[in-house]
Chain A
Amino acid sequence: DAGITQSPRYKITETGRQVTLMCHQTWSHSYMFWYRQDLGHGLRLIYYSAAADITDKGEVPDGYVVSRSKTENFPLTLESATRSQTSVYFCASSDRVGSYEQYFGPGTRLTVT
Chain B
Amino acid sequence: QQQVKQSPQSLIVQKGGIPIINCAYENTAFDYFPWYQQFPGKGPALLIAIRPDVSEKKEGRFTISFNKSAKQFSLHIMDSQPGDSATYFCAASHPPFNKFYFGSGTKLNVKP
Q: Is the CB of A90 within 8 A of B43?
A: yes
Instruction: State the interface size on chain B (CB cutoff 8 A).
Output: 23
| Contact between chains at B103 and A48 (CB < 8 Å) | no
Interface residues of A in 14-67 (CB under 8 A from B): 31, 33, 35, 40-45, 48, 50, 56, 58-59
Q: Known interface pairs A48-B99, A101-B34. Does A42 touch B6 (Cβ–Cβ under 8 Å)?
A: yes
Contacts of B98 in A (CB 8 A): 31, 94, 100, 102
Selected interface stretch from B12-20, B44-52, B60-68, B73-81: B44-52
Task: State how many residues of chain A have any CB contact under 8 Å with chain B.
Answer: 26
Known: A44-B102, A90-B43, A107-B43. A56 touches B49 (CB 8 A): no
For A59, list chain B residues within 8 Å (CB): 101
CB of A50 within 8 A of CB of B89, answer no
A106 contacts the other chain (CB 8 A): yes
Interface residues of B (CB under 8 A from A): 6, 9, 32, 34, 36, 41-46, 49, 89, 93, 97-105
